[in-house]
Homo-oligomer: A and B are copies of this chain.
Amino acid sequence: MDVKKAYVIFLGLGNVGRSLLRQILDTRDVLASRTGLRLIPIALADVSGLLLNPDGLPEETLRAALQATTDGNLLDALPGIRPLSEVGNALRAGAVLVDVTASPQTEPTLRAALDAGCSVVLANKIPLSGPWAEAREFFEHPHLRYEVTVGAGLPVIATLRYLLDTGDRVTAIEGCLSGTLGYLCAELERGVPYSVAVSQARSLGYTEPDPREDLSGRDVARKALILARTAGWPLEMADLSVEPLYPESLAGVSTEEFMAATPTLDEEYASRVAEAQAGGRTLRYVARVGPDGGEVGLVAVPQDSPLGALRGPANYIAFHTARYAEIPLVISGPGAGPEVTAAGVLGDVINLSATT
């Protein structure tokens, strides 16, 4: 098989970006023999600066960048670093830009990349979950992919695209889209108080430093919105009703005040769990979207249902369609983690490189 070169530009060298770079370096032979592709990193960018070589960054530079960022130093400790503003020089037709940040600042670069004829892969949900008028271009562009924004490496978006490409009609999508909240529900289910479960999840690094980022349901709502828009429903965030896992009164306080106040919520969540269990049910944080909107919140599901049987941090996405009407098509498994997320980004890069 002939080997086709594909040039890759990294925006972001956090956990996912580094795992991706490592996977590209470590799976070169597999990739070439299975897909006929050779991926050549030409630019690495993070907030501190840019490494750029249009012919391909040498392997020792890439390894040094991995080492520098793993050690917590910044990319700008490396020789040859340029200002981030020069990232435009890396953009060229046929290259693939991967946005593995969680930043609201990358949108201009993404648009410039598409204009320059690059393909784009997003792990970043922000550009896809703003107002439809701004996000629409990204959803409709034939050379943009964003598999890992929902379910990390699980083939969720690919499956939805396949259903739509083959003429199926999606009627609803539902599931558990947060490993963090899955973990929390599992802990509540086995009798751990809310305050302890939240505090544990935070120390294990499952939540953001301010756990309300997760408990608010905002991240799940973004994923639900991305699913809806992919299904062809041009919804806005306001079309989703979202139940946060804390009261409005704790929305404005500091992180420390919030953590100190969590024991006051133990009784309420314990009684919701007990009520569910008395009816043979268990609590899951469920997202559901349809053509007209959706809901995100705690639902008491039967213990012997597929959602009830879900193991803690696993994600679960069910597609209800014209052809999958009685029993949905379901994808499930771990929906977080740098290795599986990087693999999902790599899958998008392969897919775009093979078809463009």
Contact = CB atoms under 8 A, between A and B. Distances in A.
Nearest to A23: B167
A202 interface: no
A38 to B, nearest CB: 14
A167 B303 contact: no
Contacts of A155: 155, 158-159, 162
A92 interface: no
25 contacts: A23-B166, A27-B166, A31-B165, A31-B167, A34-B164, A35-B165, A153-B323, A154-B329, A155-B155, A155-B158, A155-B162, A163-B343, A165-B350, A167-B343, A167-B346, A306-B306, A306-B309, A314-B327, A323-B339, A323-B343, A328-B333, A330-B330, A330-B332, A331-B331, A332-B332
A327 B323 contact: no
State how many copies of this chain the complex holds.
Answer: 2
Interface in A35-90: 35-36
A204 interface: no
By size class, the interface of chain A is 35 or more
A330 B324 CA distance: 17
Interface of A: 1, 23, 26-27, 30-31, 34-36, 142, 153-155, 158-159, 162-168, 303-306, 308-311, 313-314, 323-324, 326-334, 337, 339-340, 343-344, 346-347, 350, 354-355
A309 B314 contact: no
A333 B340 contact: no
Most buried by B among A303, A323, A328: A323
A272 B339 CA distance: 42
Nearest to A350: B165
